[in-house]
Structure 1
Amino acid sequence: MKKPLIASFLLVCSFAYSQAVRKYSNEFMNIGVDAAALGMSNAVTASTGDVNSGYWNPAGLIHLEDKQASLMHASYFANIAQYDYAGFAMPIDDDSAWGLSVIRFGVDDILNTTELIDSEGNIDYNRISLFSTADYGVTFSYARKLKIPGFQYGVNAKVIRRVIGDFANSWGFGFDVGLQFERNDWKFGLMVRDITTTYNIWNIDEEAYNKIKDAIPGENQELPEDSEITLPKAQLGLSKKFIIRYDYSIMAAANLNMSFARTNDIISTDVVSIDPAVGFEFGYTDLVFLRGGVGNFQNVKQLDGSEKVGFQPNIGLGFKYKGIQVDYALTDIGDQSVALYSNIFSVKVDLGIFRR
């Protein structure tokens, strides 16, 4: 009976999550895409300038010279959850560009044991079915240069879809705004996510929910509210690339990641909480890349009541040849899984190579 119990627990947790953190919903959109960026602890707000800019800072799409496509896959929580991303972007003209990206974060093949026992009280394993719980994010991005030299801006329009089997589903809509500025080889970036706040409207099957709400006695006795609100977050970034003897380069980058609420971040107030991140990328002839970074600085409460500063180190490798770039990152997603470190792979292709 282990599997039915685990399935019931996962269902209750899914609903409890919707109820408990409704002001911090859609967190799957904050995990990050592109192994190259993740290897640098996400400190790419200022430096991003490819197809993945639609996620990190849409203003960076201006740097595209041709069509690009990107794919990424990652497994979390001992391969229980799958995270997939696909992106496409292209320039419109010398002053503007657009992009489209899709994210899916889901757990598949969960056992639905709500019909396990028939009307006569008998256990019938043939009544077990499978379902998925998945979050989807579709983002349309637009970027344009400003008349001020070195400035560009970008806007994201997002559609969020969340599905928990036949038990519940929701739709959400929101906007992001990004800016970049470059002067004397220094790059600056600002990204504000969910600038208007993002609302998710839930549709819940109460009959199905009533079958699982008492799966764990004393937990989750009330239905989640009909809506969730995702509060704005901001990233302020700085980066510079140094060329050493023509063949070698080092890019250093830093981010200040801000949440407008009190959290466990190393700097935390009632108005804003700040989590710094730093990263670097060492390159050789624009062919091989070595990356590293540190971020997610948190005040972690210990068993004795004291606090300790925790942090998240990341490393990565990249290879680029004739318009095809393959990246790998070994990254710790917030100490939230039993297997602390996750292996992430991504590929980016300059589609212009197929016209040569």
Structure 2
Amino acid sequence: MVKKLVPILSFLAILLLPGLGQAQDISAPKYSNEFLNIGVGARALGMGGVQSAIVRDATAGFWNPAGLVGLPKRHNAVYMHSELFAGIVKNDYGAYATNLDSTSALAFSIIRTGVDDIADTRRLQNEYGAIQYDSIEFFSVADYAFLASYARQSNLVRGLTLGANVKIIYRNVGKFANAWGFGIDAGAQLRRGNWNFGLVAKDITTTFTAWKLNPEELESTYLKDAESFNANSIEVTLPRLILGVGRSFQFANRFSALVSTDLEVTTDGKRNTLLSSGVVSVDPRVGMEIGYANAVFLRGGLNNVQQVEDFNGKSSWKVQPNFGVGVATHGLQLDLALSKVADNSQVSSVIVSLAYSFD
């Protein structure tokens, strides 16, 4: 089995090499297209985003496309809504997945993260200095991602599934600027009894997002020299690897448990993570789910380990806890997650997901 896995891992490594080379030659932003790293699905976020090895529903199109092979029923649809920063940022996600046959599956996903009804007060005063409230205009800042995912069971290794997705990114800042981007993710899952292993390579060829600014809206307000205005730019998202392992348990007839962990490796330089260097950073996370009769679920997870400095200059390590619950019946599943729980126990993000599976 190890000999058969070597070519697959080598292939993923070859795909990553162009991006790793560009990491040294191109000055890329460290948090490019960060809206895609918020995560989707209340079940996943309640477990701290630990999904690469265990995901088995339509959200696999986002977390690990290889997990699409293993849908409980032929069709699966998921919708999620969450609000961040006291409801200022709206995060919506929808996905549909279907089994093409016993060995392959297809999924389509859409993500929108945005802030709506932002007031543009640049023309609040007229040429005489009088206030004109009817001159206030409103606009939205939103990021979109459209994903088409495909997965297939491997004929080389028993229990191995492979998947990939193509993602199209559209970002809009009202009438001031917009951008289009394109990227590819790939993943693999290996299932051995109660053990599950996952590998995901996101942005394997690097993702390029081309920005186009509107000079007519920006030059008169922010710039005096029109010739120095650069209306076009390219934002680069460098590759990242996610390795995961999970194990399921069955006990006391109707009780079950699932424990999993992920290691996320970014290639855009030093980040505030548990392990970091000038080239790569490693961010670990762990999650757990306890179920009763496959109908009621209790979840928890830890992620986002960071070193935080207080007002006195003293540094300490902090970890983000996540909690979640879920109920399922007749193919319908409702999940709730509480994420980004602060030290004062105030919840800054509530995630709700509704999923339906049918034949």
Normalised TM-score (structure 2):
0.86
Matches for 1:1-356 after TM superposition, within 5 Å = 22-64=29-71, 65-147=73-155, 148-213=157-222, 226-260=233-267, 261-332=269-340, 341-352=348-359
Q: Quote the Cα distance in structure 2 between the aligned partners of 1:48 and 1:133.
A: 31
CA shift digits 1:69-110 (9 cap, x unpaired): 000000111111100000000011111111000000011111
Aligned equivalents of 1:210, 1:302: Cα separation in 2? 40
Deviations 1:116-168 (A, max 9, x none): 22233332111111111100000000001111111111101000000000000
Letter in 2 for 1:300: V
TM-score normalised per structure 1: 0.87
Q: Is the 8 A contact 1:66 1:351 kept in 2?
A: yes
**Secondary structure of the residue that 1:226 maps to in structure 2?**
strand
Larger displacement relative to structure 2 (93-102 or 223-232): 223-232
- Structure 1 ranges of 4+ moved more than 6 A: none
Change (3 A) 1:212 1:344: farther
Distance 1:22 1:268, change over 3 A: closer
Identical aligned pairs, as a percentage? Answer: 41
Take 1:297 and 1:66, find their aligned partners in 2: how far apart are those partners? Answer: 38
CA-CA distance at 1:235 after TM superposition: 1.2
Q: Which amino acid aligns with 1:332?
A: K
RMSD (Å) for aligned C-alpha atoms: 2.0
Q: Deviations over 1:237-273 (max 9, x none)?
A: 1001000022000100111111112100011111211
Within 1, Cα distance between the matches of 2:88 and 2:332?
A: 30
Q: 2:5 — aligned with what?
A: none
- What is the Cα deviation at residue 224 of structure 1? 7.9
CA deviation map 1:181-203 (0-9, x unaligned): 01132100011111111111111
Give 1:222 deviation, angstroms: 7.2
Per-residue displacement from partner, 1:210-244 (whole Å, max 9, x unpaired)? 35438xxxxxx976861101111121110010000
Question: Would you say the 8 A contact 1:23–1:228 is kept in 2?
Answer: no
Report the Cα distance in structure 1 between the residues aligned to 2:354 and 2:28, rounded to whole angstroms.
Answer: 33
Q: Give the drift of 1:21.
A: 7.3
Structure 1: which 5+ residue stretches go unaligned?
Answer: 1-19, 215-220
2: CA distance, partners of 1:331 / 1:288: 19
For 1:299, give the aligned amino acid. Answer: Q
- The gaps in structure 2 that reach 5 residues or longer are 1-26
